[in-house]
Amino acid sequence: MLKVTQLHVRYGTSVTALTDVSLGVGEGEVVAVLGANGAGKSTLLRALSGTLPHHGGQVTRGSIEFEGRDLLGVSPRRIVRAGLIQSPEGRRIFKGLSVEENLRVAAAGAGIPTRHAATVRRTVWDLFPRLEQRREQSAGLLSGGEQQMLAIGRALMAQPRLLLLDEPSLGLAPQMVDSVGAIIEEIHRRGTSVLLVEQNAAMALAVSDRAVVLASGSVCATGPADHLAASDELRDLYLGGTPAPTLDGAPQ
Ligand SMILES: Nc1ncnc2c1ncn2[C@@H]1O[C@H](COP(=O)(O)OP(=O)(O)OP(=O)(O)O)[C@@H](O)[C@H]1O
Ligand SMILES: [Mg+2]
């Protein structure tokens, strides 16, 4: 479904954020991208969703293919319409709008016809009953966890085939982290593939089929999620140890 090949990304002339990153997401898969602060995880997602230029970054080499289509140079709006959407880090929602208005705006932005948007909204309410209870409430008054749910709900309004999530558990209490994990599993069960960036490796590996570990902008380990979950090397990688060998023989 998604095939990233030897991707290089630079910010300005001096910062190389990604070097030679290759990975794939198969139809119906959940793939986790793990790595320490500054490893290049958000950069990878921004490159995929076409939102790098706003951050002064650019892809200097490599390719991104989504369902056979080359995404490099395609506008973010067209990428969303092609079925790939990113729910950005930091819960970007419209705090002055109500919960429901946030979903309406998201649907309009993704080109979902108004009639159909009500049906899609129903599926979001089913997934997040707490949001439905608060549909009239100003989004800025939601709790941190609820705002995160709304950010995911907004992305789902575009009816993506592949959902990119950037640290959905960031700043949440442990109990909420588990519910984010359960929600990702439910989104997956409903037929959406997921590329999940997380610092919470335990949660991410529990809900993923495969994982890719980034260190300093390069893939340093990749393999089935259960193998990585059992790996001591993963802990070393997070502590900034030397890159570990590929766990399943070859980079994805
Ligand atoms: N707009 C920018 N201009 C210059 N350098 C940037 C910019 N955005 C990110 N970087 C640099 O690129 C590298 C990767 O950053 P990125 O945000 O992708 O990391 P990350 O893995 O998402 O980290 P975190 O876990 O802290 O969110 C970092 O060294 C960062 O300083
Ligand atoms: Mg990040």
- What are the beta bridge partners of residue 84? 162
Q: Ligand 1 pocket: which of 7, 8, 11 to mutate (most atoms <8 Å of CB)?
A: 11
**Cα-based distances in Å from 181 to 104, 199, 229, 245:** 25, 13, 15, 28
Which pTM value belongs to this model?
Answer: 0.91
Which numbered ligand comes closest to the C-alpha of 37?
A: 1
Q: Classify residue 162 as left (phi > 0), alpha (psi -120 to 50) or beta.
A: beta
At 55-81, the pLDDT tens digits run 689 999 999 999 999 999 999 999 999
φ/ψ of 198, rounded to 5, equals -150, 145
Distance from C-alpha of 84 to C-alpha of 49, rounded to nearest angstrom: 7
CATH number of the 1-83+160-252 domain? 3.40.50.300
> Which atom from ligand 1 is nearest to the alpha carbon of 45?
18
Q: What is the DSSP letter of 1?
A: -
Alpha-carbon distance of 191 to 184, in angstroms, equals: 11
Provide the residue ranges of all domains of the chain, joining segments of one domain with +.
1-83+160-252, 92-159
Tell me, what's the pLDDT at 38? 93
Report the separation in Å between the CA atom of 17 and the middle of ligand 1, taken as the mean of its atom positions.
7
- Protein residue closest via CA to atom 9 of ligand 1: 43
Q: Can you tell me which atom of ligand 1 is nearest the CA of 42?
A: 22
Task: Say which residues have a Cβ less than 8 Å from residue 141's Cβ, sequence separation at least 6.
Answer: none
In tens, the pLDDT along 167-210 reads: 999 888 888 888 899 999 999 999 999 999 998 898 999 999 99
Tokens standing for residue 60: 């200097």
Ligand 2: centre distance to CA 35 (Å): 9
Q: Please give the average per-residue pLDDT across 82-94, as a whole number.
A: 85
Half-sphere exposure of 51 (CA within 13 A, CB side): 15
Q: What is the DSSP code string of 118-146?
A: HHHHHHHHHH-HHHHHTTTSBGGGS-HHH
Three-state SS at 134: coil
Please tell me if the CB atom of residue 15 comes closer than 6 angstroms to any atom of ligand 1: yes
For the chain, report the end-to-end CA distance as a whole number of angstroms.
Answer: 13
